[in-house]
Amino acid sequence: MKFFTQILLLILSWFANLVSATPVFTKVAMPTYAYTFSETDRAIQDQEIKIRTIYFARSRVSEKLAYQRGFLRESYALERIARAGNVRVVQGAGSFVNQIDNTLARLTNKAKFELLNTGEYKIVGGHHPMAKKAFEGDLVYDYKKAFSVKPSELDKAAGITNVHPSITGQQNSLYTSWKNANPNTKITVDVMADIEIQAMKNVGIPEDVATGWVVKSLEDLKAQGVTEIKNIPWNGTN
């Protein structure tokens, strides 16, 4: 029994020494590396960065200046073209307005204004006392807004039913006769007004009433800002 007790103590002592023993494996330190630059190298790098930044900034400024110069040149060219075009339009408009004013001065005192059932074409339809074909192609002319006379009012004035087609026929005939007699002449507002009055007079509309409608049509053309007679109705360009 004593022998077994001694053996047990020996085993316990060996186990205690095994538990408290220093481990066989130890920590391994990994090497680290540090890179350093001298003050001279750092100064060179800083200088290169500054130079590149300056070059970049200068190139951007140069690009911007070049773009601005090109834009200004283009704007100036467009402005000159616009001014030239505007001068031509204003001169043409002035001449045409003078023609209208002169014709109005000649006709207004001869006019009787029967304005019932007259107004914009899009509202009353019917007859344009100054033929719309003459102004087709003028940028500001709008035949739907132009002064017109309702067909029933034409019939009333002429004392004839459905007289509008007859007026159109008279217009065609009178404009064609004028063109044949004046093959190389531009038609004027004065001539147009006389043809239009005559076309209505020929179908039985009183001259003073026809004159009143032509006067209102001329006033409308002036208000719209029409600049010229583009065509001779039924006879090509003016």
Per domain, the residue ranges of the chain are: 99-224
How many residues would you count in the chain?
238
**For 165-203, how does the pLDDT look when each residue is reduced to its tens digit (9 = 90+)?**
999 999 999 999 999 999 999 999 999 999 999 999 999
**Residue 91: pLDDT band with limits 50, 70, 90:** very low
Q: Which two tokens stand for residue 61?
A: 């400024």
For 26, 77, 78, 108, 183, the CA distances from 66, given in Å and listed in that order, are: 71, 17, 18, 61, 56
Inter-axis angle of helices 39-107 and 207-224, nearest 10 = 170
The 10s digit of each residue's pLDDT in 112-150 is: 999 999 999 999 999 999 999 999 999 999 999 999 999
Closest CA to 112 of 222, 7, 211, 227: 211
CA dihedral 51, 54, 55, 61 (to 10 degrees): 180
Angle, CA 163 vertex, CA 160 and CA 166 arms, to 5°:
130
8-state DSSP, 22: P
